[in-house]
Structure 1
Amino acid sequence: MMEIAIIIILALGSLLMLLGAIGLIRFPDIFMRMHAATKAPSLGAMLMLLGFVLYFTTWAIVVKAILIIVFIFITTPVASHAIGATAHHLKIKKWDRMKIDDLEEDKNK
């Protein structure tokens, strides 16, 4: 029974990483691509590490997996914000149907 749960968790993690990769290819501008490259793969990596922890239940693996998850969830938003702010500062072309630009509104105040 535990093996089935591990397989499901690993499959969901893999699916989320695949969806992030597809979004990276299919989305029209850097801001949406950045979102696809950070949200889904972070959760996918967390699920895959959780599956490894459930399969290999040693303290060393549990500690390493927790440290990796914490590292991913700390660095991913910071990197995403830096990429988005740089793209906005360099005036990288946005999707033509984008209607709201909060950074531009803050800059004009």
Structure 2
Amino acid sequence: MTELAHVIIAMLQVVCIVLGSFLCLSAAVGILRFPDVYARMHAASKAGTLGLGFLFLASTVHFGNLEITIRAAVGVLFFVLTAPISAHLLARAAYWAGVKPWEGAGVDQLSGRYHKETHRLDGYPFEKRYAKHIPKGSENLDT
């Protein structure tokens, strides 16, 4: 490779490491500074996942090996698939347990609509459309 190619690869590595480190740091600061559990989970799942993605990209560019690239891609895929799902499940469990959102967050759109007994929302969009496909007596089996 030419000298210019080495410089470009080094600059790409630096950009990915700095950007990934900044996003991971902002996720950590968000966990410490945000006012409620929902905002903290948002910071950890979104910024943390993106920051780790950039750090994996930097390692891929640095090593330039197919094996490392595949491992980094699997790592990024794992984080992209699991972080939003786990944040959603934790937020749902927190709401179900009675953790109230911060007052400054605006309107609590689930207030009065979420039934703790059935874990369903009023106006669940698929219940009316697919009611004919649900066997009789199985409405409360998923509680």
Task: Provide the identity percentage.
Answer: 30
* Residue in 1 that maps onto 2:29: 22
Distance 1:63 1:89, change over 3 A: same
Aligned residues: 109
Gaps of 5+ in 2: 1-6, 115-120, 123-143
Within a 5 Å distance, the mapping from 1:22-101 to structure 2 comes to: 22-101=29-108
Which residue type is aligned with residue 102 of structure 1?
Answer: Q
Q: Which has the greater radius of gyration?
A: 2
CA distance in 1, matches of 2:51, 2:98: 31
Which residue type is aligned with residue 99 of structure 1?
Answer: G
CA distance in 1, matches of 2:78, 2:106: 34
Gaps of 5+ in 1: none
TM-score normalised by the chain length of structure 2: 0.72
Q: CA deviation at 1:101?
A: 2.1
Distance 1:89 1:61, change over 3 A: same
Question: Looking at both structures, which has the greater relative contact order when contacts are Cα pairs under 8 Å and sequence separation is at least 6?
Answer: 1
> Runs of at least 4 residues of structure 1 off by over 3 A?
none
Q: CA deviation at 1:46?
A: 0.3
2:9 is the counterpart of 1:6: no
TM-score normalised by the chain length of structure 1: 0.93
- RMSD of the TM alignment (CA)? 1.3
Which residue type is aligned with residue 60 of structure 2?
Answer: V
